[in-house]
Each structure stands twice: as C-alpha cells, then as structure tokens.
Structure 1
Amino acid sequence: MKGPLFYAKILLFGEYGIIKDSKGLAIPYNSYQGALKKTEELTEEAKISNKNLTKFYTYLKELETSLVTFRLEEFKADIEDRMYFDSSIPMGYGVGSSGALVASIYDKYADDKITVLENLTRDKLLKLKQIFSLMESFFHGQSSGLDPLNSYLSIPILINSKNDLEARGIPAQQEGKGAVFLLDSEIIGETEPMINIFMNKMKNEGFRKMLNEDFAKHTDACIDDFLRGNVKSLFGNVKQLSKVVLDNFKPMIPQKFHNVWQKGIESNDYYLKLCGSGGGGYILGFTKDFEKTKTILKNYKLELVYRF
C-alpha cells in the first residue's frame, strides 16, 4: 500500500494574524511531501510514526464533533498492519509536516469527504478548515486548520478572514532576478510554545493595537501586491512588515538571526519574515537579486520558493 502524496505548504503572509482574523495567503510547496505507507518491517523512524498514528487514532476516537466521521476500525487495523507516514517534510520547520499527515488521514478514512474535484464553494472550504482545525489541534494544542487544507487541496488559499476563504490562482513565476526563498535556521521550532507567547502578548493593549493596525495593514498590502504582480510595491510593503515583525515578535525569531534580519532591512538587499510560528525552522526571505543574496548569506542554507 502507498497512499497519495500530500505536499508541504508555505504561509507567505499572515502568520499569527490569521489567528486573530486578518488576511493570509498560503501556497503549496512541492519540494517536500508525505504519504501513508505500509511495510513488512518498520525502521526505527517508521516505528515512531506508527506509534504517533496510534496516539492520533485515540484522539480521533474521542473527538466529539458532528462535522465528520471516520472509519476508525479500518484506521486501527492499518496501524496494526505496520502503516506509517513516510515524509520528507522537516518537522518543526513551519512548512506543514503535521498538516500533510492530517490531510492524508482525512483523505483515506473520512466518510463523505469533500474532494478536490468538487466545486469548492466557500462553505465547503470553511467546513474543511473547521474539520482540519479539530484534527490538527492534536499536534499543536490550537490550529487554524489552514496547513492541512492547503496540503489537501494543493492549491493557493487566500484567507480574507476566519469565515471567508477562497481558492486562488497566483501570478506565474518569472525568470527574473527576484525571489522568495527559505533560510534554514537549523533549529527545530515548536509551534505550541510560540502560540502561547503570542497569546500572552495579546493581553497587552499596545500589542493588540500594533497587530490590528500596523501588522494587518502591511500584511494585507503584501498580499494584494503579490496577487496583482506589483513587485515594486510588494518589496516596499515587505520591508515595512519585516520591521514590524523584528520590533514586535523578537521571541519568535532565533537570537542569532536578529542581526541578519536587521542587516537586510538596512541594506535593502533582502527582507526576512516569519515562516509559520517561528522559534526556529525556516525563515522566509524576499529579495530583488537572489544571486547577490546567496553570496551575502553564503553561511546559511537557502532554498528557492518562487521567482519574480
């Protein structure tokens, strides 16, 4: 047995803001993927995955919801028959490792599942997001459901608000100098502690004001520019967003990257922002000249995501 592939995702814009009902834009990232598999003999890594599937089975069994039902006995039998999730998606990197797993379980075991082939109305997208939010909460304590949604549908998703989603095309890549890239912090991040820090910060009126005004304003402008292909304006708005994040989300940025982040803003050679919840994993970068940026950041591992 080998299940269908589910890809990683990148939340280009909207990290943390989407928890508080502002805009976001997520795209599939096909460089990494995962699939459910069975094997005659489990490797050590596959054993860990198999055990995690058992815990996930128990969680789904106890989940009280009228949104979805699962064929849990079939799921349990497959786990006992040495099923595991074979994935190249790095865990704790902000690119949706648990999201791909959730998508694969829903795809294989959900009754009356909503499929990619249907006319994906907003109501259907919202229902899927709600189901995935419940499922993925097993991994993070709290989940928007967006990572599994993106992985399951494998199309860009525009989040206008919590209750307003749309499947959205993005401009075709150009063979230009500019790029969106990933910078590997080589630190594994954990989502739940980062979300807890964020929730504590939300108790502060000044932080809430910053999020609702500066952060949301620059995020929304970045999304509009990206979708319209307004590259010049996009870089101006990404720079502002990068500043806001550095000033207000320092605990989510690994200490050794504070200077690298600041240098990008000062030199205008590149701009950095969080990729997912932060705390480690990947950092997302935007540059007008990817070759130059590779030279400047030669001590770090960079991965190309999208070309301008």
Structure 2
Amino acid sequence: MSPRARTSRFIGKFSGRLGFLGLTLVYVLLVAACLGTLAREDELSLGRNPVANLLKTVGEFANPSFLDVWFGNTHLEYKSDDGTVLRVENRQEVEMDYLAGLGRATWTTIRIATLGSLLGALLGLPLAVLTARNLAAPKPLAWLAKGVLDVTRSIHTLVFGLVLVGIVGLGPTAGILAIGLHSMGTYGKLFAEAIESLDMAAIDAVRSVGATSDQVFFNAVWPSVLPQFVSSHLYVWEFNIRDSTILGLIGAGGLGLLITEATALFQWGRLATVLIVIVLMVSAFDAISRRIRQALS
C-alpha cells in the first residue's frame, strides 16, 4: 500500500461519528490531565482573600484616570507622615499631559503594527507561492519555504521582540521587525491556502501557451487571489494592532510601555484609561476592515 493510500485510510478512520467521539475523548482526557496535575502541584490556588482583592481592583478600574481632566483635584497636597506638605499637584493638568503622551504612544503602536504587517506580507508572499501545491514549485524550494513559514509562525512575536531588542536596540524598529517576522508565517499560510483554492483551468490555460512562471502568477493567479489577499492582510493587521500593544513591555515603545508603568506602580486607574484606548482603537479598525471586506466580497 502506498504512503498516500495509508494516509487516506488513516484520515478516513477519524472522519465519521465514531472518530469524532474518539477525538473528543482524547481532548477530555487531556483537559483532565491538565487539571489533575495542576491540582496535585497546588497551582490552582486563588491566593488569600481573592474576593476582597477582586472588589478592590474592580473599584479602582471603575475610576479611569482620564476623568481627572474634568473632575481631578486642582490643589492635591502630598504630605509626609508628620503633616509637612511635600508638593502640590493640579491633577487636571497632570492628566492632560498624560493623555498627550498616551496619544503619542497610540500613534507609535499603530505605526509598529502597520509597518510590521506590511513587512510580513511582503516576506510571506513569495514563500506562499513556493508552498502552494497547485503551482508545483520545485520540491526542495517548497520544503524550504514551508519550513521557514512553520518556524516563524511557531515563534511568538514577544520572543522575536526580545531577540531583536538585543540586536537593534530599544524602540519601534525592534517591534516592526518582530511583527514582520512572526506575521510572515501567518501570511504565507493564508496566502498559500488562497492560491490552492484557485480553479486550475485558468492557470493551465496560461501555461499551455508557453507562459513563464512569472507570467502565470501575474496573469492567472494574482487577479483571482487579490481579494482574498486583501482580506487576509486586514485580518492579520487587526491582530497585530492588538499584539503590538504587548511589545512595549520589552522596550519596543507604544502603549505597552504605559501598561508596564501602570502595572508596576499599581495605577489601575491609568491602566483602565490605556485599556479603554486599546479597545476603542481595535474596535475602530475592526469596523473599517469589515467594511472593506464587504466591499471586496
């Protein structure tokens, strides 16, 4: 029996209802093993006074710092233990300055996600062409391209960021490169799947007249897959906007830096303000990308 026939037979065993139940049982056993081992290692504890800590944290999150722009104390005094006034602060002015910095950090995050996504798409496209089975690229090149895509997709953006910060230094450049390298694997997989879903009749017709590989791609493949490419790009771009907020934790700048500062100082009000900005930014981009995808469909 050929390897392909053995593979088809193996897959066929799991395609029916019995196979689905078997896979479900395996999943249930995996979940039970995870819970059991964590419980045995006493790693499922909620700590001391979890309810009181939760209520306190929720109360602080319910008062985001941006409200100080309108309701903040204009003459807030900081005193020592003996009552000596150490300094006086206008909370409204302080929060206005913070919001200005928050705006600059948001723009940095958008730039990291945008340029990183574009870099990933440009790097992933030629690798997708090589790995798409219906384009019949030379096998050594196809295997090499698939290996590169699998590796970059497997390594998290944060890991790439940690390495690149050590190479290029702190700042947005490390974040852009980290987003680009990880996204390359995702783009390559999505682009290759889009190419493999094509009707091969048009591609074969172009090949039959003696077209080169470049001519086949740009005349038969590219016009058909462009809408799917744009849709995939918007999806990954949206994901990278969320992902880029974390890169500030390792020194890439942007909103992640403000998140680090707020959590390190237990400033849950300011963290709430940053999270509100992230939610609004992602929601706005999701609405825009949805409109574009609808226009393309």
Bigger RCO of structures 1 and 2 (CA < 8 A, at least 6 apart): 1
Structure with the higher fraction of residues in strand conformation: 1
Scaled to the shorter chain, the TM-score interval is under 0.3
Q: TM-score scaled by structure 2?
A: 0.25
